[in-house]
Amino acid sequence: MPTQRDLFKADQSLAYLFIAPTLAVLFALSIYPLIYSIKISFQGNTGNATLANFARLFADRFFLAALGHTFVYAAIALTIEFLLGLAFALVLNHNLRGRNAFRALLLVPMMLPPVVVGVVWRLLLNSNFGAINGTLKGFGFNTEALTWTASPTLAMASVIIADIWQWTPFMFLILLAGLQAIPQEPYEAALIDGSSAWQTFRHVTLPLLKPAILIALLLRTMDLLRVFDHIFILTEGGPGFATETLSLYIYRTAFRFSNFGYAAAMSFVLLVITNLISAGYIRLLQTREA
Partner 1 sequence: MNTFRRFGKYLIVTGALVAALAPIYWMITISFKHEIDQFAVPPKWFRFPPTLEHYAEAFLTRSFGQYLFNSLFVAVASTVFALLLGTLAAYALARFRLPYGLDRKLALWILSTRMFPAIVTAVPLFLIMRDLRLVNTKLALVIVYTGFNLPFVVWMMRGFFAEVPRDLEEAAMVDGDSRFGALWRVVLPLVLPGLAATGIFCLIVSWNEFLFALVLTQTDTAMTLPVGIAGRVTQYGIKWGAMSAASVVAIIPILAFALSVQKYLVRGLSLGAVKG
Nearer to partner 1, 79 or 275 (CB): 275
Residue pair 263/46 in contact (Cβ under 8 Å)? The answer is no
Candidate segments 55-63, 147-155, 198-206, 268-276, binder of partner 1 by CB under 8 A:
268-276
Measuring CA to CA, how many Å separate 141 from each of 32, 129, 136, 145, 158?
Answer: 56, 14, 5, 11, 19
Nearer to partner 1, 14 or 290 (CB): 14
| Residue 254: how many other CB atoms lie within 10 Å | 17
Nearest alpha-carbon partner for 37 in 286, 285, 273, 271: 271
| Residue 238: how many other CB atoms lie within 10 Å | 16
Establish if 92 lies at the interface with partner 1 (CB under 8 A).
yes
Report phi then psi at 49, rounded to 5: -75, 135
Between CA 42 and CA 266 the distance in angstroms is 12
Candidate segments 60-68, 72-80, 152-160, 248-256, binder of partner 1 by CB under 8 A:
248-256
Cis, peptide link before residue 186, omega less than 30° from 0? no
Max Cα distance, the chain (Å): 85
Nearer to partner 1, 16 or 62 (CB): 16
Residue window 138-177: x/- pattern of binding to partner 1, with contact defined by CB under 8 A? x--------------------------x---xx--xx--x
Q: How far is the CB of 213 from partner 1 (least distance, A)?
A: 13
Establish if 271 lies at the interface with partner 1 (CB under 8 A).
yes
Cβ neighbors of 247 (< 8 A, separation 6 or more) are 70, 226, 227, 228, 270
Q: How far is the CB of 81 from partner 1 (least distance, A)?
A: 13
Interface residue with partner 1, options 113, 152, 207, 280 (CB under 8 A): 113
Nearer to partner 1, 82 or 121 (CB): 121
Residue pair 289/78 in contact (Cβ under 8 Å)? The answer is no
Establish if 114 lies at the interface with partner 1 (CB under 8 A).
yes
**Footprint on residues 193-222 left by partner 1 (CB under 8 A):** 215, 219, 222
Between CA 201 and CA 205 the distance in angstroms is 5
Q: How far is the CB of 148 from partner 1 (least distance, A)?
A: 14
Size of the site for partner 1 (CB under 8 A): 95
Nearer to partner 1, 50 or 278 (CB): 278
What are the beta bridge partners of residue 49?
43
Half-sphere exposure (Cβ direction) of 59: Cα atoms closer than 13 Å: 6
Between CA 83 and CA 89 the distance in angstroms is 10
Residue window 48-87: x/- pattern of binding to partner 1, with contact defined by CB under 8 A? ----------------------------------------
The three-state secondary structure class of 49 is strand
Candidate segments 54-62, 75-83, 91-99, 145-153, binder of partner 1 by CB under 8 A:
91-99
Interface residue with partner 1, options 120, 159, 179, 242 (CB under 8 A): 120
Q: How far is the CB of 110 from partner 1 (least distance, A)?
A: 6
